[in-house]
Amino acid sequence: MAAKDDAMRCAGKLGMVASVAANLITLAWIIRRRYFGGGKGGSGKNKEEEMSMVEASTGKPPVTHDSIVNLDHGDPTMYQAFWRGTGDRATIVIPGSQTMSYFSDVAGFCWFLEPQFETEVRRLHRLVGNAVEEGYHVLVGTGSTQLFQAVIYALSPAADGTPMNVVSPAPYYSSYPSVTNYLTSGLYRWAGDANTFNSDNCIELVCSPNNPDGGIRKAVVKSGRAVHDLAYYWPQYTAITEAANHDIMLFTVSKCTGHAGTRLGWALVKDKEVALRMIKFIELNTIGVSKDSQLRAAKILRAVTNGYDLSPAVEANRLFHFARRQMVERWNKLRAVVAATAIFSLPDDLPGYCTFFKETIASTAPFAWLRYEKEDVDDLEGFLREEKIMTRGGTRFGADGRVVRVSMLDTDEAFNVFIERLASLT
């Protein structure tokens, strides 16, 4: 009887030990899953996959033969095909403990500018040769639109205290008037077409190549303060004929690499006091610029430049060659259709020797300035809308209603449907 009791007590102890051991194993598994990402439950992804994967929005719906083709905005989704083929070269992982401070570089000229982004901006300009970067202050903004607002703030008001006039030669970028007048500021005001402006007291916005017509522009008002918007001065759109060295130059990630959603632009500014006033505007406006966006953009620009530094260079790594090929193909298709319909026209080619490609190339602007040549249509935007083609009408650019701006940067599917529909309009 005693032996039986001893056996039962022993079994109970063993059961207790086994239970404790099982609980400890379970607890260890839970801790590992929670803090180290181990195990195969849930999605089955490892730690690195979970860290790098984000669930992005889908953007615009895909285009079908029956859907509306929206070519109103310059949404640069054409570039998706290139970036899908680059693997992880433009991928960045930002741990949750990083980029938490407002400040990027407290000892730097611009306290919210990430040093990595500045480095890659300067590298890119040296590669392409489209702008002088030495001797310039690099500033960063939430898209070039914020930098445009910052610069007109920095250059205003006029010397006599009256609002500074802001002008641009027509056809001008459609957002210049609305952004200038948005806050009804007492510092500056939109004053229209620089070609008809009859004073020297102004800020002149010089967009070259020009949005919407792709023309190469120079300042018209001789004594005005010129701001050069060089968003499209990249070799996929136009010949790089010289390294621009204007006092104030604006650029944007969206039209260079296609990453419009990153919302980042930069400025090259010679004058220190103008640059400081621009920094102050951005500080008051948004308390700096997203560090996450800057780090992502730095990685993207590094991938672009490294794609040309690799030896031997591989076509799949060279962004400007990819985009140039795409733009040439699209413009060839569009010019062929326009010639066949005989009711539309486009601006003439603007060939030039490109120091980047080291050959003479034709302009392949990111927008088509499409004009209707017959007398029976005064509102080309409305006419094309009836054909399920969304464009931006010429009156928004200081021109007439028989011309529209058409984006050339959308997906292949959208562009091909547009070409088919345009070809049917005879």
Does 159 fall in a domain? Answer: yes
pLDDT score of 33 = 44
Go through the chain and tell me how many residues it has.
Answer: 426
351 cis-preceded (ω within 30 degrees of 0): no
Its domain, for residue 33, covers 1-58
Q: pTM above 0.75?
A: yes
Asked whether residue 168 carries a pLDDT value surpassing 50, the answer given is yes
Q: Is 320's pLDDT higher than 70?
A: yes
Confidence band of 352 (pLDDT split at 50, 70, 90): very high
Distance in angstroms (rounded) separating the CA atoms of residues 356 and 72: 30
Both 38 and 182 in one domain: the answer is: no
Per-residue model confidence (pLDDT) at position 380: 98
Q: Is 353 among the domain residues?
A: no
| Residue 9's pLDDT band (cuts 50, 70, 90) | low
CA 139 to chain centre: 16
Instruction: Answer yes or no: are the C-beta atoms of 72 and 392 closer than 8 Å.
Output: yes
Domains of the chain: total: 2
Distance CA 207, CA 251 (A): 11
CA distance 134 to 159: 30
Residue 39, pLDDT score = 41
Instruction: Tell whether the model's pLDDT for residue 10 goes beyond 90.
Output: no
Question: Which of these three, 38, 58, 78, is where a domain ends?
Answer: 58
Residue with tokens 């300042």: 219
Strands 367-372 and 403-407: antiparallel
Q: Are residues 149 and 275 in the same domain?
A: yes
- pLDDT at 208 > cutoff 90: yes
pLDDT of residue 222: 87
Q: What is the pLDDT of residue 63?
A: 85
Choose the final residue of a domain: 272, 307, 342.
307
pLDDT of residue 269: 98
Token digits for 393? Answer: 């009408």
Structure-block tokens of residue 88 = 């992880």
Helix (H, G, I), strand (E, B) or coil at 99: coil
How many Å apart are CA 195 and CA 208, to the nearest integer?
16
Q: Are residues 37 and 156 in the same domain?
A: no
Q: Is 423 part of a structural domain of the chain? A: no
DSSP reduced 3-state for 367:
strand
Can you give the CATH number for the domain in which 232 is found? 3.40.640.10
- The answer to the question of residue 178 being in a domain is yes
The answer on pLDDT for 54 being more than 80 is no
Task: Name the pLDDT band for 52 (thresholds 50, 70, 90).
Answer: low
- The confidence band for 311, taking pLDDT boundaries of 50, 70 and 90, is low
pLDDT for the residue 30: 44
The Cα 299–Cα 319 span in angstroms is 14
Q: Are residue 46 and residue 120 in the same domain, yes or no?
A: no
Q: What Å distances lie between residue 242 and 87, 352, 354, 355, 382, CA to CA?
A: 33, 11, 9, 7, 40
Q: Are residues 19 and 130 in the same domain?
A: no
- pLDDT at res. 146: 97
| Model confidence band, residue 17 (pLDDT cutoffs 50, 70, 90) | very low
Smallest CA-to-CA distance from 120 within 377, 261, 309 is with 309
Residues 255-277: pLDDT tens digits? 999 999 999 999 999 999 999 99
Specify the 3-state DSSP secondary structure of 368.
Answer: strand
10 plus 130 within the same structural domain: no
Which position has the higher pLDDT, 32 or 211?
211
Going by C-alpha positions, the residue among 77, 57, 65, 74 that lies closest to residue 411 is: 77
Of 344, 341, 345, nearest in space to 424 by CA: 341
Q: Count of CB atoms within 10 A of residue 110's CB?
A: 23
What pLDDT sits at residue 53?
58
Q: 15 or 388: whose pLDDT is higher?
A: 388
List 330's β-bridge partners, or say none.
Answer: none
Q: Is residue 42 part of a domain?
A: yes
Cα–Cα distance between 273 and 187 in angstroms, integer?
Answer: 17
Answer yes or no: is 82 within a domain: no
**What Cα–Cα distance (Å) separates residue 196 from each residue in 170, 199, 378?**
9, 9, 24
Cis peptide before 95 (omega within 30 of 0): no
DSSP label at residue 224: S
Query: How much is the mean pLDDT over the chain?
Result: 89
Cα distances from 149 to residues 160, 185, 322, 357, in angstroms, run 21, 11, 32, 34
Q: Is the pLDDT of residue 18 over 80?
A: no
The whole-number average pLDDT for the span 67-85 is 94
Which residues share a beta bridge with 361?
352
In this structure, the answer to whether residues 164 and 279 fall within a common structural domain is yes
Q: Does 317 map to a domain?
A: no
DSSP letter for 131, please: B
One domain, residues 157 and 278: yes
282 located within any domain: yes
Report the percent of the chain where pLDDT is more than 70. Answer: 86
175: CB partners within 8 A, 6+ apart? 145
For residues 53 and 151, membership in a common domain is answered with no
Which of 178, 176, 111, 99 lies closest to 140, judged by CA?
A: 111
The span from the CA of 166 to the CA of 176, in Å, is 9
pLDDT computed for residue 46 by the predictor: 53
For residue 129, pLDDT beyond 70: yes
Among residues 9, 33, 58, which one ends one of the domains? 58
Residues 326-350 pLDDT 10s: 999 999 999 999 999 999 999 998 8
